[in-house]
Amino acid sequence: MVATAVEHSAILTTGRHHAAAAQDPSLFAEVPVDWSGRVDLRALQDALAVPATVVAAVQCANGEIGTRQPLERAHELCRTHGVPLLVDAMACLGRDPAPEHFDVMAGDARSWGGPGGLGVLVVPARTRWRRPGPVSEIEHGRTDVEPMIALALAAAEAWRATQADRADQSARSSALLRRLRAAADHLPDVEVVGDPDNALAHVLTFSLLYVDGEALVTELDRRGFAVGTGSACTSSTLEPSHVLAATGVLTHGNVRLTLPLNPVAPALADGVSRFIAELPEAVAAVRAHLGAGDL
């Protein structure tokens, strides 16, 4: 099995567990990414060329740093080596045009404003696919539980609404994200993470030198902003986000902004303006608390 080093931990931990259980590290290859989080296609090709490779996982884009993956090229490489490509589209469905280059695609209805608890597996007719375990008669053998019609309908309706609004949503998100990126770039001692040119329009991540990520999240929360962080101090293992680690950026003082969809955040532009106004003060306060104001 092959996966990029920035795949969701649901894929990485499963692959590592499989290799560890068989006491054979070669069963799971993690393909490195560059500074922006983009997969190294040469290394991907080398991993695909290993005999008995059965599947490759490449996400459409990374939900933590926004960087999109070159799916068309990855799919070409997979086809050349006869390896099916699994695309995790959780970060981009409802935001970007739906990916076209995959053999199996996985998604989550929450990505496009649908209900929680509904996963989506897209299996094109060209892909030979069989559900593991005994085959039932439900849904032509694609599942062994009766579908929850209400959930599926709600997800479909949310998909329709999101698709109708997508161009507008994307333009608004891009404009707000450009302002946020400019504001982050102006902070002293900052590393803005990810590919500035080929990334999702609703995710921005940056790391600040001499800042405790948890303290900054708390300070921003006090000011009414809910942000994420990939810094180690907030994780029970003390390990920073594997995505930040794979790109080689500064991992402490990390802030992750995710812009919500329009229907759930009608006053988003005002919130972004207030965030931009308050961010430098919040960062300075957290740095001063650690006595790192003049380093």
Partner 1 sequence: MRPNSQPIAPIEVDARGLRCPLPVIRLAETAKGKPPGTSIVVLADDPAARYDIPAWCRMRHHELAEMTELPSRPPSGETSNVPTSPDTGGLPAEGGHRGYVRFQVLLQA
295 binds partner 1 (CB under 8 A): yes
Instruction: Pick the closer one to partner 1 by CB: 122 or 245.
Output: 245
Cα-atom radius of gyration of the chain, to the nearest Å?
21
Q: Distance (Å, rounded) from C-alpha 282 to C-alpha 261?
A: 25
Q: Are strands 119-122 and 190-193 parallel, antiparallel or unpaired?
A: unpaired
Q: Say which DSSP state 83 is in.
A: -
CB of 177 to partner 1, least distance (A): 23
Instruction: Pick the closer one to partner 1 by CB: 123 or 292.
Output: 292
211 binds partner 1 (CB under 8 A): yes
| x-or-dash string of contact with partner 1, 250-269, rule CB under 8 A | xxxx----------------
Q: Distance (Å, rounded) from C-alpha 141 to C-alpha 160?
A: 27
Taking CB under 8 A as the binding criterion, the range among 15-23, 144-152, 206-214, 220-228 that sits at the site for partner 1 is: 206-214
Binding residue for partner 1, selected from 96, 165, 189, 278, defined by CB under 8 A: 189
Q: Where are the alpha helices (DSSP H) in 68-135?
A: 71-80
272 binds partner 1 (CB under 8 A): no
192 binds partner 1 (CB under 8 A): no
Crossing angle for the helix pair 71-80 and 41-48, to the nearest 10 degrees: 20
CB of 253 to partner 1, least distance (A): 6
CB of 101 to partner 1, least distance (A): 32
Q: What single string gives the DSSP state of each residue in 210-258?
A: T--HHHHHHHHHHTT---B---GGGSTT-PPPHHHHHHT---TTEEEEE
- Which long-range CB contacts under 8 A does 175-180 form with residues at least 24 apart? 176/259, 176/268, 176/269, 176/272, 177/201, 177/202, 177/203, 177/204, 177/259, 179/272, 179/276, 180/204, 180/257, 180/272, 180/275, 180/276
Q: Distance (Å, rounded) from C-alpha 241 to C-alpha 232?
A: 7
Binding residue for partner 1, selected from 238, 264, 266, 267, defined by CB under 8 A: 238
Binding residue for partner 1, selected from 41, 104, 123, 245, defined by CB under 8 A: 245
CB of 145 to partner 1, least distance (A): 40
Instruction: Pick the closer one to partner 1 by CB: 161 or 192.
Output: 192
Binding residue for partner 1, selected from 209, 268, 276, 284, defined by CB under 8 A: 209
> Which residues contact partner 1 by CB under 8 A?
189, 191, 207, 209-213, 231-233, 237-240, 244-245, 248-253, 290-292, 295
